[in-house]
Structure 1
Amino acid sequence: MASFRIRQFQERDYKQVVDVFSRGMKEHIPTTFRHMLTLPRTLLPLAGVPLTVVLVSGSWLLAIVCIFFLLLFLWFLTGKPWKNYVSKCLHTDMADITRSYLSVRGSGFWVAESGGQVVGIVAAQPVKDPPLGRKQLQLFRLSVSSQHRGQGIAKALVRTVLQFARDQGCSDVVLQTGLLQKGAVTLYYSMGFQKTGESFMDTLMWLVDVSLIHFIYPLPSAQNHEL
């Protein structure tokens, strides 16, 4: 098993951080596409439109071409929300990581380094309007390069955020992750996170039926054990 270390983000990491994040998000496009093909709202036009073409034109070739372009459109539709999300992040908090995280009290951004390369990332910011009497930290941007998964890197990055939250005197760590991000969902459950609800990030995510799962990890002040 390859060794790695978790450390705070440095400016020289920026290009590698963006690469890990962008690739990680775009990996969800094929999974979302396959998910789309199982939905009634997708299967109906995929079957109905070509059949209508055959009945009207009598051409099976035209129907096959129609199916091809429908699938092409669905691939575009599936990829759009993920690409929009990456673009939004790279133009907001990840445009200047030092300013967004390291220069903000109670925030942080960490990388996992292996062999001199950034292979994983995670970030955290205080929740602006937490429930009354709670001090919450939100976990963001968790991603590990595909070649380095299965080594405990994601778990180590999450542990880093949890310890940071304890050090800040937070009562909870909260996060959101996509329903189809099976590895992440399994990880959070295995580490003791609790599901608090679901929502859709935007209309496009609703259209492709990919909801966000909301998680919370309570941090009792009296509890001071290692995960």
Structure 2
Amino acid sequence: MSAVQIRKFRGEDDETVKELFTLGMSEHVPSAFVHILKQPPTQMVLMCLFCALLTSSKSFLLPILAITLLLAAARQSVVYMFNRYIDTSLRKDLDSISATYLTGKDSCFWVAECDGRVVGCVSCLPSEDASGCLELKRMSVSRSHRGRGIAKALCRTVVEFTRDRGFAAVILYTSVVQTDAQKLYEHVGFEKVREFVVPELFARITNFTLFEYRLDLQGERKRE
């Protein structure tokens, strides 16, 4: 098994990092769609629509077609929501990684490299919402290299950086559908401290929840 090296971002990593992030976020579209289907309001709307059309048309074909079209529209809405988040992230910082993360002493961007190929990334910078904390951001690992401890190593790189800079804690945000990420963060030592629904209308209707996790470094030192 080839060794994995974690190093600071370089300019030539730019396109690979963007691709890693984009593919990683896009993977959550199916699970987000399933999450929507499990919501009671969604099931109620589908059932009421089916029954109303069945009663009025006296045929199974029309309600089945209508439900199929509605589900297709819902899935496209999920795709749009994720694509919008990806585009916003690219404009906000991933189109200018060096300027955003590598010019200040309290921010950084790392990649995980294996056999000369970038297979993972993570970053951190001072939190806008939690004073005295760094925020872990843009965590992503290539599907082909998961299960090798790369994500844990990237998390711990951020933790060590945060400790060295004298910050009180690391915080991060993840979504209800990113269950593997939640398990990873909890294994590393993060604790869920807050839940809130994304403010966009579609997200509120479908109860698309975000979780805030926090790793208090004093508490982490005690566990160690």
Q: Which moved more, 1:35-44 or 1:52-61?
A: 52-61
**1:85 — aligned with what?**
85
Which digits, 9 at most, give the CA deviation of each residue in 1:103-146, with x for residues without a partner?
Answer: 13310000111122211110100124534xxx211100111111
Unpaired segments of 5 or more residues in structure 1? none
1:22-33 to 2 correspondences below 5 Å: 22-33=22-33
Sort the Cα spacing of 1:208 and 1:218 in 2 relative to 1 into closer, same or farther, 3 A.
Answer: same
Matched, 1:213 2:202: no
Amino acid corresponding to residue 113 of structure 1 in structure 2 = E
Shift of 1:12: 0.5
Give aligned-pair identity as a percent.
Answer: 36
Shift of 1:57: 1.9
Q: Hey, what's the Cα distance between the residues in 2 that align with 1:112 and 1:26?
A: 20
More helix by share: 2
Matched, 1:144 2:141: yes
Sort the Cα spacing of 1:149 and 1:30 in 2 relative to 1 into closer, same or farther, 3 A.
Answer: same
Q: Hey, what's the Cα distance between the residues in 2 that align with 1:159 and 1:144?
A: 14
Amino acid corresponding to residue 205 of structure 2 in structure 1 = L
Q: How many residues align?
A: 223
1:45-124 to 2 correspondences below 5 Å: 45-124=45-124
Shift of 1:2: 3.9
Q: Hey, what's the Cα distance between the residues in 2 that align with 1:26 and 1:148?
A: 17
Could you tell me whether the CA contact under 8 Å between 1:169 and 1:221 is conserved in 2? no
Q: Hey, what's the Cα distance between the residues in 1 that align with 2:205 and 2:181?
A: 22
Q: Hey, what's the Cα distance between the residues in 2 that align with 1:159 and 1:34?
A: 32
Instruction: Choose which of 167, 176, 181 in structure 2 pairs with 1:179.
Output: 176
Sort the Cα spacing of 1:105 and 1:41 in 2 relative to 1 into closer, same or farther, 3 A.
Answer: same
TM-score (norm 1): 0.92
Amino acid corresponding to residue 147 of structure 2 in structure 1 = G
Q: Which moved more, 1:51-60 or 1:70-79?
A: 51-60
TM-score (norm 2): 0.93
1:119-138 to 2 correspondences below 5 Å: 119-128=119-128, 130-131=130-131, 135-138=132-135
Q: Which moved more, 1:154-163 or 1:171-180?
A: 171-180
Unpaired segments of 5 or more residues in structure 2? none
**1:193 — aligned with what?**
190
Secondary structure of 1:170's partner? coil
Could you tell me whether the CA contact under 8 Å between 2:189 and 2:220 is conserved in 1? no
Q: Hey, what's the Cα distance between the residues in 2 that align with 1:56 and 1:35?
A: 30
Which digits, 9 at most, give the CA deviation of each residue in 1:167-213, with x for residues without a partner?
Answer: 11111111111122111111111111111111123223323322111
